[in-house]
Structure 1
Amino acid sequence: MPIVDVLIPAFNEENSVGKVINDIPPLVRNIVVVNNNSNDNTVKVAQSAGAIVLDEAQRGYGRACLTGMEYIANLEVQPDILVFLDADYSDFPEQLTLLIAPILEHDMDMVIGSRAKGNKEKGSMTPPQVFGNWLSTRLMRWIYKTDYTDLGPFRAVKWGKLKSLGMVDQTYGWTIEMQIKAAKAGWKTTEVPVDYRKRIGVSKVSGTVEGVFGAGYKILWTIWKYR
């Protein structure tokens, strides 16, 4: 059985991160939560649920992911697969087995959990999120000849491949940077339908005007940057 680790960036998710950790299948070796300068009990809850908790004071989704990857890269035994998962309980962690299946069975390099192909609870994605995903995936199709339907953060990647990408984005462009670089590198990628529900708490991105515009700008800039 391959070694699978999970990386969870978390900022003020004390009410949800424990549920996420508890629903992750037991086949996972390490659950690494990166506390992204939370001012609530995220750290205590994550540790109580059995996760390895790292601190990253610099805010940013990508920054937290990079910190987690650095920790994993220094482990004596490296994972075969790294799964990214949000801490807000909007995804269904038990569907991790669906994500890694194409890697195990068809030697895929990366698998995106597509909310566009799965069942979404009403209100789980805001209109700006739905439109942003549609526009971003359409632009990637035109420019990079990809067939993505989502920028879903719930994704599984071969660890060795991921290390070779040279990921750098520290904020909202992280997921799309990975997908663009994977396409340019000729990776074998696919999507699997995943379910999606209303998150616990308020989103730091879609829940604020600043977050919506900031994410939209960064995603479009990233698409243009790597063309």
Structure 2
Amino acid sequence: MPNIKVIIPAYNEEASIPFVINAIPEIVDEIIVVSNNSTDNTEYNAKNAGATVLIENRKGYGFACLKGMDYIAKQEKKTDIVVFLDGDFSDYPEELTKIVQPIIDHNIDFVVGARVKGLREEGSMTVPQIFGNWLATNLMTLFFRSTFTDLGPFRAIKYDKLLGLSMEDKTYGWTVEMQLKVLKQKLSYREIPVNYRNRIGVSKVSGTIKGAIFAGIKILGWIFKYSFKK
């Protein structure tokens, strides 16, 4: 089996993080929870559940993901696959096996868990989220002939390909930046339909008007930046 690491950015997810960690399949070599300036018991609960806990005081989803990547880069043992997963228990961590399967069995570079309508619990995605995903993925289809249908946070990528993307976004644009760079570099990719449920607690992005607006601006900014970049 390949060496698989899971990176979980988490900001005040004390109630959900133990459920996420405990549901991750045993094929994973290490679970890395990056506490993104949490003020509750996220760090304690994550460590108690068996995860490696890192602290990133600079708030931002991308900052947390980059912190996890920096930790992996310093390890002696080679990492083969990195999985990104949210800490709110909206995804089903046990589905990680089918997220990594195309990489292991078919040498695919990048896999996104697509939150398809038929597998989504009612209310699990807000109207701005649904519209934002539709707009972003349709623009990617228009400009890059992409077949992506979702910007889902549950995703897996070969570690060497991840390094080659030179990820830089620090906040809301992390997921779309990754997918745009996959398209620009012509990496192989696949979407796998996944189940999606109402998260534990309140979303810090889609659950607020400010968060939804800033996320939308960041996502569209990345798309238009790459649409006109040679």
Q: Which residue of 1 aligns with 2:174?
A: 174
> Residue type of the partner of 1:51?
A
Cα distance between partner residues in 2 of 1:219 and 1:37:
23
SS at match of 1:226: helix
Instruction: Provide the C-alpha distance between the structure 2 equivalents of 1:116 and 1:138, rounded to a whole number of angstroms.
Output: 15
The answer to whether the Cα contact below 8 Å between 1:25 and 1:93 also exists between their aligned partners in 2 is: yes
Cα pair distance change 1:129/1:95, threshold 3 Å: same
Residue aligning to 1:195: 195
The answer to whether the 8 Å contact 1:117/1:193 transfers is no
**TM-aligned CA distance change 1:118 to 1:55, over 3 Å:** farther
Distance 2:221 2:125 in 1: 22
Structure 1 residue 145, shift from structure 2 partner: 1.3
Deviation, 1:49, is 0.3
Q: Which amino acid counterpart does residue 4 of structure 1 have in structure 2?
A: I
In the alignment, residue 87 of structure 1 is paired with which amino acid? G
Q: TM-score, normalised by structure 2?
A: 0.97
1:19 is matched with 19
- Aligned match of 1:50: 50
Matched-pair contact (CA < 8 Å) for 1:108–1:188 = yes
The percentage of counterpart residues that share the same residue type is 57
Residue 75 of structure 1 aligns to which amino acid in structure 2?
Q
Distance 2:194 2:143 in 1: 26
The number of equivalent residue pairs is 227
| Residues in 2 aligned to 1:91 and 1:174: alpha-carbon distance in whole angstroms | 18
1:117 CA drift (Å): 6.0
What TM-score do the two structures reach when normalised by structure 1?
A: 0.99
Tell me the distance in 2 between the aligned counterparts of 1:31 and 1:42. Answer: 14
**Contact 1:34–1:53 (Cα < 8 Å) also in 2:** yes
For structure 2, the 5+ residue unaligned runs are none
Q: Deviations over 1:61-88 (max 9, x none)?
A: 0010001000001110121100000000
- Residue 80 (structure 2) pairs with residue 80 (structure 1): yes
Aligned pairs (5 A) from 1:116-195: 116=116, 119-195=119-195
How far apart are 1:118 and its partner, in Å? 5.4
Aligned with 1:32: secondary structure? strand
Question: Which amino acid letter does the alignment assign opposite residue 77 of structure 2?
Answer: V
The 4+ residue runs of structure 1 with deviation greater than 4 A are none
